[in-house]
Each structure stands twice: as structure tokens, then as C-alpha cells.
Amino acid sequence: MIDKINGLLSEIENLKASKVEDIEALRIKYLSKKGEISTLMNDFRNVAADQKREVGMKLNELKEKAQNQINLLKESLENSQEGDQSIDLTRTAAPIVLGTRHPISIVRKEICDIFRRLGFSIAEGPEIEDDWHVFSSLNFAEDHPARDMQDTFFIARSPEIVLRTHTSSVQTRVMEKQEPPIRIICPGRVYRNEAISYRAHCFFHQVEALYIDKNVSFADLKQALLFVAKELFGAETKIRLRPSYFPFTEPSAEMDISCNICGGKGCPFCKHTGWVEILGCGMVDPNVLENCGIDSKVYTGYALGMGIERITNLKYRVKDLRMFSENDIRFLDQFESAY
Ligand SMILES: [Zn+2]
């Protein structure tokens, strides 16, 4: 009988089961009322009295072991089933959440693409600039208010190094190096020492365009402006030009577009005028051309510049300029773009 018990013990140690039914079969085989262990229990009464103690202990050990082993098999089967359920290979894959482009980036790219279709190429330059490229070469008088501490962030005084206040400095750098024809667009970040509010920030983004060649006229500028306005705000968009002043252009103008919110009828956004200002432009002042080594008797050119934030506000009606630099996901998530 001891041999039989030992045989069963080693059998039980090596039990394996991959299904619930297998485990149930094992339970019936060993532990049910007619199972092998119960049969041995029944035979126990025939064991000689002097062996009862030893056989009894062995039998109890066997019963306990069988019970434990079957419980273990059940547990490991349940665990592995749980694992299987968490991977459902037939399920549709969860979409990967992509970030969105910043609204400023979307509009900057849109503007650059429009100009690219007109044959312009992108030019970039440093944000930390010297006085010559930001002011002097562009015909700013020594006492021009834009040079004042109020507007410009100065990094060094002598020689004067500043954070550029406009991207016109890139135009200067290109004109100094390149022979006309020049047809460039300069997108970039600019800095002005202004109090931060919902409509002003100490940095913002500009796009400027410059076209220099023989016989470039104001008519060419106006045609380009109309094309850009229609591409940006729709085919119904009208433009109007108002005389203005900039040190680096002569004549200079500011361009309004028919209000894209009310369609020109008048609304609070356009202050009931039906028009909104979007950019400044003009014919490049001959002094600027000469400063950059371009013969102003042979070449003429036009330049225009706009704030990207301004255009973005018009397209998306963002009321507070500060939203653009606060990195609030709830704001940024709203801008989806094919770019
Ligand atoms: Zn309006």
C-alpha cells in the first residue's frame, strides 16, 4: 500500500492540464468519492495495526498534495486565460493620437506657399542683429522712434546689437549678397519691447516679401496683393490701399481687405467699416537699394510685410494674442491641418 501511495504522489507532482475539463477529470480521478485516493482510504481499514500510523500519515499527505496540485493547475489556467483576453487580435487597432500644428505655423506655411506659387523663395536670417541691418540700411533716421528703448530690445550698446524688430533685416542681408532679380519671402519671429496684453506681445511673427528687378512697378505690387488676399481669404475678397509712411518704402501704403467676417457689411470686428487692415507695403526706397549696393537707376522693387498673428486672428478669430504662446493643449488641439 505504501508503494501505491508513493506511486500516486509522484504521479500527482507531474500533473498537467491545459483545459478546465482536464482539471475536472483529474479531480474526479483522484479526489471524487470513487477516485483513487478515496479507494485507498477505504482500504485503510485493512491495513495492519502496526502500519496504520505510517500509512495514515502518507495517505493524508497524498490527499493534501492532490488537492493543492489541482488548485495550482486551476489558478495558472485562470491567469493564462486572463492574459489571453487582454490581447484581442481581432480588435481594430487604437488610433495613434497625433499632435496638431501650431496655428501660427499653419498660417505661415499657407502664406509662404502662396508666395512660392508667385515664384518667391524663402530667405531666413538671425534674430540677433546689428543696427545696420535692422535700422540704418533701411533708411531709419538716427532719431527714429523705432530705435527708442521703448520699442527695441538692446543686447549691446556699442556696437549696437538688438533683437530684430522686423524681418526686413533679412531683406537687407539678401540684397547685400545677391544680384537682382531678387524674389524672396522672409518669415520669422520679431521682438518689440511692449507691455503684454490681449492685443500686444513682446514677440510676434512676420512675413515679408521683396521683389527687385528691372521695371517693377506699383501695379505689380497691387496685382500681387490682390492675388495673396484672395488666396488667403477667398475669391470674393476685395482690397483697398491707403497711403502710409515707412522709412524703407516710398511711396508706402497700408492694405485693407473687405471684412471676411461680415463680408463688408459692417460688424464689431471691423468696427462697422467693412474693412480690416492686414499689411503694410510700398516701393523700396532708392536709398535702401543704394545702401545695399543695388543701382537704383536700373532696378526698382516692392516690399510688403504682415504680422502672422494678425492674419491668424482673422482666419480663426482668436481674441487673445497671448493664447498663441501659452501652450494650452485645449487651444492647440482645435487646429487640425493637412500640413
Ligand atoms: Zn466686419
CA of 169 to the centre of ligand 1 (A): 34
pLDDT at 223 (0 to 100):
95
Dihedral of the alpha carbons of 307, 308, 314, 315, in degrees to the nearest 10: 160
CA of 258 to the centre of ligand 1 (A): 8
Model-level pTM greater than 0.85?
no
pLDDT at 107 (0 to 100):
93
Cα–Cα dist 3/307, whole Å:
95
CA of 159 to the centre of ligand 1 (A): 46
Cα–Cα dist 120/207, whole Å:
12
CA of 256 to the centre of ligand 1 (A): 12
Q: Which cell numbers hold the place of 120?
A: 518667391
CA of 265 to the centre of ligand 1 (A): 6
Other CB atoms within 10 Å distance of the CB of residue 332: 16
| Residue 83 banded pLDDT, cuts 50, 70, 90 | low
CA of 103 to the centre of ligand 1 (A): 22
Q: Is the pLDDT of residue 184 over 80?
A: yes
CA of 233 to the centre of ligand 1 (A): 13
Cβ density class 49-61: b for 16+ within 10 Å, e for less: eeeeeebeebbee
pLDDT at 60 (0 to 100):
87
Cα–Cα dist 139/143, whole Å:
11
> How open is the CA angle 76-79-85, to the nearest 5 degrees?
140
pLDDT at 304 (0 to 100):
96
CA of 255 to the centre of ligand 1 (A): 16
CA of 100 to the centre of ligand 1 (A): 29
CA of 270 to the centre of ligand 1 (A): 4
Decide the pairing of beta strands 121-122 and 182-191. Answer: parallel
Which distant-in-sequence residues (6+ apart) come within 8 Å of 286 by Cβ? Answer: 250, 296
| Residue 123 banded pLDDT, cuts 50, 70, 90 | very high
Q: How far is CA 50 from the centre of its chain?
A: 86
Q: What is the DSSP letter of 93?
A: P
pLDDT at 96 (0 to 100):
80
What is the per-residue pLDDT across 251-308, written as a single tens digit (0 to 9) for each? 999 999 999 888 888 888 888 999 999 999 999 999 999 999 999 999 999 999 999 9
**Average pLDDT, whole number, for the chain?**
88
Q: Which cell numbers hold the place of 59?
A: 495517505
Cα–Cα dist 271/229, whole Å:
20
Mean pLDDT value across residues 231-247: 93
CA of 17 to the centre of ligand 1 (A): 77
Sheet holding 275-284, edge to edge: 121-122, 182-191, 203-213, 300-307, 275-284, 249-258, 239-246
Q: Look-up: residue for cell 463688408?
A: 264
CB 228 within 8 A of CB 200: no
CA of 149 to the centre of ligand 1 (A): 36
Q: What percent of the chain has pLDDT over 70?
A: 96
